[in-house]
Chain A
């Protein structure tokens, strides 16, 4: 529990609904803007990509780094966040 940020805990606590992509753990304003440019404006679209990659944390992290220019820490954080959300709600 102490390893996860508040943002992570908030996201994983409830269904994401129409939350923006910046609500994801590890995704700040800069990365959020980049993702929106690529067409991923909502958190659920990024979830869609995560699911397409078969919920593989490593694969998704790589994709995120390539698409948004995220660093390793941010990408892993986002992947973990989505994985936990899936475990809870999918």
Chain B
């Protein structure tokens, strides 16, 4: 009988201890026996901004940790995940854009303006990826030189045709027509070799 009387409080105390350890993975009871480095790491885990763990600050930090453990606040790994996701997004963004850039150079000037409009729309949709825009621009600046040498003349024509109202061939034609007319007038004036004063005689 006495055995059961003693075992009951023992059991309850034991269960409480187990509960405590389950609730907080880092043991609350041994906080004071941890090294300063460990305390610092624990503070980082609970997202508590802190200075050096020294004699005068240790008590305060231990108290803060106990409060945080009781609350069960968020741990570090979650923040890492978001950072990784951001990086991934960045990569896919650049990959998607590069082929579009090459296309623009191959096509006429029309698609050039289209691409600019697309760029604007995308920047509005995803303001968070501001960095990628800048990195994309860096990429774009590196690609033009090799393309420029191969299709320089074609590009010049396409860009110049984009700015003129009247197509270039028409301008050349008109110029030639006017030149021909003037030459005809000039030759007409030159051909009469006879004496202009013929009628007088």
User: Does B144 belong to the interface (CB within 8 Å)?
Assistant: no
**A56/B49 in contact, CB under 8 A:** yes
Bitwise, B49-88 to A at CB < 8 A (1) or not (0) is 1111010110110010000000000000000000000000
Please classify how large the interface on chain B is, using the bins under 10, 10 to 19, 20 to 34, 35 or more: 10 to 19
**B52/A66 in contact, CB under 8 A:** no
Contacts of A52 in B (CB 8 A): 51-52, 54, 56-57
Bitwise, A56-79 to B at CB < 8 A (1) or not (0) is 100100110010000000000000
**B63/A53 in contact, CB under 8 A:** no
Contacts of A63 in B (CB 8 A): 57, 60
Interface size on A, residues (CB 8 A): 10
**B54/A54 in contact, CB under 8 A:** no
**B63/A54 in contact, CB under 8 A:** no
What's the least CB distance linking B63 to chain A, in Å?
7
Contacts of B54 in A (CB 8 A): 52
Give B59's nearest chain A residue, CB to CB.
A66
What's the least CB distance linking B96 to chain A, in Å?
43
User: Does A5 belong to the interface (CB within 8 Å)?
Assistant: no
Give A63's nearest chain B residue, CB to CB.
B60
**A54/B60 in contact, CB under 8 A:** no
**B57/A66 in contact, CB under 8 A:** no
**A49/B56 in contact, CB under 8 A:** yes
A59 to B54 alpha-carbon distance, docked (Å): 15
What's the least CB distance linking A78 to chain B, in Å?
15
A63 to B55 alpha-carbon distance, docked (Å): 13
What's the least CB distance linking B56 to chain A, in Å?
6
Contacts of B57 in A (CB 8 A): 49, 52-53, 63
What's the least CB distance linking A44 to chain B, in Å?
14
A49 to B54 alpha-carbon distance, docked (Å): 10
A12 to B49 alpha-carbon distance, docked (Å): 26
A63 to B54 alpha-carbon distance, docked (Å): 13
Give B52's nearest chain A residue, CB to CB.
A52
Contacts of B59 in A (CB 8 A): 66
Give A53's nearest chain B residue, CB to CB.
B51
Give A66's nearest chain B residue, CB to CB.
B60
8 Å CB interface, B20-74 against A: 49-52, 54, 56-57, 59-60, 63
Q: What 6 A-B pairs have minimum CB-CB distances, sorted nearest first?
A: A54-B51, A63-B60, A52-B51, A53-B51, A52-B57, A49-B56
List 23 interface pairs A-B (beta carbons < 8 Å), by A numbering.
A49-B56, A49-B57, A51-B51, A52-B52, A52-B54, A52-B56, A52-B57, A53-B50, A53-B51, A53-B57, A53-B60, A54-B49, A54-B50, A54-B51, A56-B49, A59-B50, A59-B60, A62-B60, A63-B57, A63-B60, A66-B59, A66-B60, A66-B63
